[in-house]
Amino acid sequence: MRFKYLLSVLFGLCILPAWVYAQSSYEEAVAEFNNATGAFKIEYNKLLVYRGVRKAQQQNIDLDYVRKALKDYPQDTMLLFYKYAPDKSLAVWAVSEEIFAWEKIKANKQVLASVQNKLRKRILLDVLKNGRMPKRRGAAEPNLDDVKSVSVADLTQSLSQELLPSDISEALGYAKHLVIVPVESIGTIPFSMLSRQGSNKLLIEEMSMQVAPSMIDAVKPKSRGNASARQSEKLPLVVGNPLYANDPVWELPDLPGAKEEATTVAKLLGTTALTGELANEKSIRQKIENASLLYFATHGIADAESPLDNSFIAVAAEEGGDGRWTLREIMNSDLDAVDVVVLSACQTGLGKAMSGGTVNLARSFTLAGANKVVMSLWSIEDTATATLMDDFVKYYHQQGQSVPQALRSAMLELRKTHADPLFWAPFVTFGGRTAIK
Q: Where are the domains of the chain?
A: 2-109+151-215, 227-430
Whole-angstrom distance, CA of residue 425 vs CA of residue 130: 17
Helix (H) / strand (E) containing 382 = helix 382-393
Q: pTM for the complete prediction?
A: 0.87
| Mean pLDDT on 257-276 | 93
pLDDT of 233 > 80? The answer is no
| Mean pLDDT on 353-382 | 78
Give the Å distances, CA to CA, from 245 to 17, 94, 279, 319.
Answer: 60, 46, 11, 11
Q: What percent of the chain has pLDDT over 90?
A: 39
pLDDT of 340 > 80? The answer is yes
308 vs 410, which has greater pLDDT? 410
Computed over every residue of the chain, the mean pLDDT equals 82
Q: Write phi, then psi, for 244 (nearest 5 degrees).
A: -70, 140
Q: What is the pLDDT of residues 39-66, one digit of tens each?
A: 777 666 666 665 566 555 556 788 999 9
pLDDT of 170 > 50? The answer is yes
Residue 55 is predicted with a pLDDT of 56
- Considering the four listed CATH numbers 3.40.140.10, 2.30.30.100, 3.90.1150.110, 3.40.50.1460, the one that applies to the domain covering 227-430 is 3.40.50.1460
Q: What is the pLDDT of residues 288-325, one digit of tens each?
A: 878 889 999 999 888 877 888 888 999 999 887 889 99
| Mean pLDDT on 177-205 | 93
Contacts of 324 (CB under 8 A, 6+ apart): 245, 247, 312, 313, 314, 315
| Mean pLDDT on 235-257 | 90
| Mean pLDDT on 349-365 | 67
